[in-house]
Amino acid sequence: NKKAFVELLFWKNATAVREMSEGYSTLRDGEGTGACRAPAWSPQEEQVLRELYWRHKEVEGQDIIAAILAELPGRTRRQVVKQLVRM
């Protein structure tokens, strides 16, 4: 690859760095981007998230996401924030 120096300057993600350092095609099937994707939000989960957000939104001095996570098991902080932004 004659333009590998450009890839070294502008990394896209950890998988690209691993491919550059260990060689391309070294990843096994199912490894890399998208392999550990979080489960999709069901309409019921979205509704629960929406209700929890509106319930905890008005409380002053409280971390809204922490309060939501306490009542919404099985999701990470990042997943909740990303879904709230998406909604």
The 3-state secondary structure of 3-68, one letter per residue: CHHHHHHCCCCHHHHHHHHHCCCCCCCCCCCCCCCCCCCCHHHHHHHHHHHHHHHCCCCCCHHHHH
Mean pLDDT value across residues 8-22: 75
Q: How many domains does the structure of the chain reveal? A: 1
Q: Is the pLDDT of residue 76 over 80?
A: yes
pLDDT at 34: 53
- Tens-digit pLDDT profile for residues 20-59: 777 766 555 455 555 557 788 889 999 999 999 998 888 8
**What domain range is 46 assigned to?**
39-86
pTM above 0.75, yes or no: no
Residue 80: inside a domain, yes or no?
A: yes
